[in-house]
């Protein structure tokens, strides 16, 4: 497999061994590069200013856009970083966890300081964001079955993103600040 990957890339297999040790190291490096690019785009969106609510909505939109544009992104990250053997993916996994949690914590801190959000554990929200946004795309056949064959497209992904944002934001609000039903 390593030789086939090298031939496909047009490089000597020895270079892959030298720089990445094996195929797993190569795929982990590729997944890390995808994550780095994604984080740059996501951070630009959520740090652009605005209220905590606006920043969280932008973060959710950015996650869903990434998954929609790169349908295998979630699977690659799960397989090559989250489930990777410690030797190849441990640093990338910790960076993924720390970076996502810090960005989410920043938004939550802003919302708490403004008196809009109640205190919650940013780690749980980070898991909820990744799960809610990622499953919508990775389970596309299931979603399309729910919608009687309607294809998942940009419009349905945007509508779903707004739904997730509303759901999460209502849960974050301080008691007494929730919208009347």
44 is written with which tokens? 């630009």
Distance CA 94, CA 115 (A): 31
SS3 152: coil
149 CB contacts (<8 Å, ≥6 apart)? none
State residue 77's pLDDT score. Answer: 82
DSSP state of 139: T
State residue 29's pLDDT score. Answer: 81
DSSP state of 120: -
91 is written with which tokens? 């640093």
4 is written with which tokens? 């086939």
Does residue 109 register a pLDDT over 90? Answer: yes
User: Could you tell me the pLDDT band of residue 18, with boundaries at 50, 70 and 90?
Assistant: confident
Does residue 63 register a pLDDT over 60? Answer: yes
**In which residue are the tokens 């499953």 written?**
135
User: Could you tell me the pLDDT band of residue 4, with boundaries at 50, 70 and 90?
Assistant: confident
Q: Are 130 and 63 in contact (CB under 8 A)?
A: yes
Does residue 123 register a pLDDT over 80? Answer: yes
Mean pLDDT to the nearest integer, 78-96: 75
State residue 13's pLDDT score. Answer: 78
């Amino acid at each position: 497999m390593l030789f086939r990957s090298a031939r496909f890339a047009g490089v000597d297999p020895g270079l892959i061994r030298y720089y990445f040790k094996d195929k797993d190291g190569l795929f982990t490096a590729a997944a890390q590069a995808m994550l780095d690019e994604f984080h740059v785009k996501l951070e630009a969106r959520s740090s652009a200013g605005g209220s905590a609510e606006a920043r969280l909505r932008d973060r959710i939109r950015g996650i869903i856009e990434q998954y929609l544009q790169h349908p295998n992104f979630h699977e690659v990250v799960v397989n090559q970083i989250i489930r990777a053997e410690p030797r190849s993916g441990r640093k990338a996994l910790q960076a993924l966890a720390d970076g996502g949690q810090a960005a989410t914590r920043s938004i939550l801190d802003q919302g708490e300081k403004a008196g809009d959000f109640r205190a919650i554990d940013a780690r749980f929200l980070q898991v909820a964001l990744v799960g809610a946004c990622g499953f919508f795309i990775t389970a596309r056949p299931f979603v399309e079955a729910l919608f009687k064959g309607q294809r998942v497209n940009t419009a349905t992904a945007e509508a779903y993103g707004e739904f997730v944002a509303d759901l999460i934001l209502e849960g974050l609000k301080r008691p007494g600040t929730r919208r009347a039903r």
